[in-house]
Amino acid sequence: MPDPIRQRYETSIEGFGGYQDHLWASHQSRDALVEVTNAYDSAIDVKDGLDEVDTAERQGLVDSFQHIIIQSDSLVKVFITSRNSMDIVMNMEHIPNIYIKAEDNRDDISNFIYESLLH
């Protein structure tokens, strides 16, 4: 476990009976991630299924990504996968995006399966 996370964990449970007694607020998790990224020259944060996050929570999560990128002393890249959802598309329109549809890689998947069957 990276030191910044371990230290924050130990601090958060001081005076509690165990880890289950205290949950971190989202800003505490976000700030811990900034500290972890600062321990490396660069970091990649991968988030799969942003569309599966409750719509009321998505903006806060996107804001946290941006905060981590801005506040970190290191190069931080965030890779997000998601189905198209209007709120996600609108929140990400100012951020570099690569849109891939299932049709775009259908041949690659078919070739991979075909090659796998041959071996």
CA distance 37 to 48: 19
CA distance 43 to 37: 6
Domain count for the chain: 1
3-state DSSP of 13-56: HCCCCCHHHCCCCHHHHHHHHHHHHHCCCEEEEEEECHHHCCHH
- Per-residue pLDDT of 18-71, as tens digits, reads 555 567 788 888 998 999 999 999 999 898 999 999 988 888 898 899 899 999
Find the domain containing 51 and state its range: 3-118
CA distance 37 to 25: 19
Pairwise pLDDT comparison (30 vs 96), residue with the higher score: 30
Per DSSP, the three-state class of 80 is strand
Pairwise pLDDT comparison (36 vs 99), residue with the higher score: 36
Per DSSP, the three-state class of 76 is strand
- pTM of the predicted model as reported, rounded to 2 decimal places: 0.68
Nearest of 42, 44, 12, 43 to residue 29 by alpha carbon: 12
